[in-house]
Structure 1
Amino acid sequence: MSTQPKRASEWTIHGERVVDDSRRSILSVADVELPDGVRFEQYVLRVPNAAMVVILDDDDRVLMLWRHRFIANRWVWELPGGYLDPAESAIDCAMREVEEETGWRPRSLEKLIDFQPMIGTIDQLNTIYLARGADYTGGPLDENEAEKVAWIRLADIQDLIASGSIIGAGSVSGLLATLLLQASGKL
């Protein structure tokens, strides 16, 4: 069994202690050392992976949720999605979350991108899928999820991001990836 040699710029982790362990997250402090020998403590937040979906209809509109986010104290548009349950796949989570949050069931899902929202602090993979079309299942809107669900023109997305109406990392990442596909003619 061989081990990979340590790279010159790789940090050394001397230990990690848990500060808080709750239902959806573990907050810890890691004792880390930089390659030049400087040592310090770094907060680390470990949360379940998440999945989101960009759902496009035949009129190039995206299904989005209008939500209040208390941490930022703002109303924003977001893509449907959420945390993976234990042992749940990202694609199963994406399908479940869309239907729970919007009352729509995506017709198909294809992986769009993976990203880490804050790679220096948070250990969480986010997977974003692209769905082409959805069927309304008539599920009631959960007032705890969103104020409203609406189809937003893809042509308006850049302006909504620029105005601060779309600020979540997952929504911005997924929507920009979709706009890149559209611009390249691959959508």
Structure 2
Amino acid sequence: MLVMGTGMRRASEWTIHGERIIDDTRRAVLSVADVELPDGVRFEQYVLRVPAAAMVIVVDDADRVLMMWRHRFIIDRWVWELPGGYLDPDEEPAACAAREVEEETGWRPRSMTRLLTFQPMVGTIDQPNIVYLARGADQTSTTLDVNEAERIGWLPIDGIRQRIDDGEIVGAGSVAGLLAVLLAKATRQL
């Protein structure tokens, strides 16, 4: 067993020799990093740095989840997704998550509990995703923003796993968050 002291590198840690920015926009910084593997092989790796995102799993009293049916042009598919979005500078994640739910669905969450945080693609993208669980919501608007979703739906939790298996729910945040809720429900923690 290798015991490491302060400042020592692990044998399997990659070395970064530099990083050059290719494009820098309000919502993303694309760069190329000059990296070296532990065995000395050196190459360039694309890196995408994106603001943190927050999303919410809103569950009602009938054990249904609030979701949005929307088209994602990158994969050219219609999918169900949780409401959420990028954090504004200096915005608290829970405030962002609640704001996004209301803006995108017309429902205001009654409560917000942090469920999990994850990185969706650690080999290329630096973007923390923070998922909240909300119990109940109050409708504040019936007007749907056509730029956000084609429709809003309350989907039964018991059918969520099948929708994931069928490819109706594919986004990393939605899948990770919903599987966490299903696990909590199965282990009676929810």
Pick the TM interval, shorter chain. over 0.9
Q: Which residue of 1 aligns with 2:50?
A: 47
Q: CA–CA distance in 2 between the matches of 1:139 and 1:17?
A: 46
Provide Cα deviations, 1:116-159, integer angstroms capped at 9, x if missing partner: 01001000000000001111112521000000011000011011
The one-letter code matched in structure 2 to 1:108 is: S
Stretches of structure 2 that go unaligned for 5 or more consecutive residues are none
Q: Which residue of 2 aligns with 1:83?
A: 86
Correspondence 1:19-98 to 2 at 5 A: 19-98=22-101
CA RMSD in angstroms, aligned pairs only: 1.0
Q: Which residue of 1 aligns with 2:20?
A: 17
Q: Which residue of 1 aligns with 2:148?
A: 145
Provide Cα deviations, 1:38-71, integer angstroms capped at 9, x if missing partner: 1100000001000000000010000000000000
The 3-state SS of whatever aligns with 2:100 is helix
How far the C-alpha of 1:3 sits from its partner, in A, is: 4.6
**Corresponding residue pairs, total:** 186
1:104 to 2:143 alignment? no
Q: CA–CA distance in 1 between the matches of 2:47 and 2:92?
A: 24
User: Once superposed, which parts of structure 1, at least 4 consecutive aligned residues long, lie more than 4 Å away?
Assistant: none
The 3-state SS of whatever aligns with 2:122 is coil
How far the C-alpha of 1:23 sits from its partner, in A, is: 2.1
Q: Which residue of 1 aligns with 2:129?
A: 126
How far the C-alpha of 1:4 sits from its partner, in A, is: 2.8
The one-letter code matched in structure 2 to 1:179 is: L
Q: CA–CA distance in 1 between the matches of 2:33 and 2:138?
A: 46
Q: CA–CA distance in 2 between the matches of 1:165 and 1:110?
A: 26
The one-letter code matched in structure 2 to 1:27 is: L
The 3-state SS of whatever aligns with 1:180 is helix
Q: CA–CA distance in 2 between the matches of 1:100 and 1:5?
A: 47
Q: Which residue of 2 aligns with 1:163?
A: 166
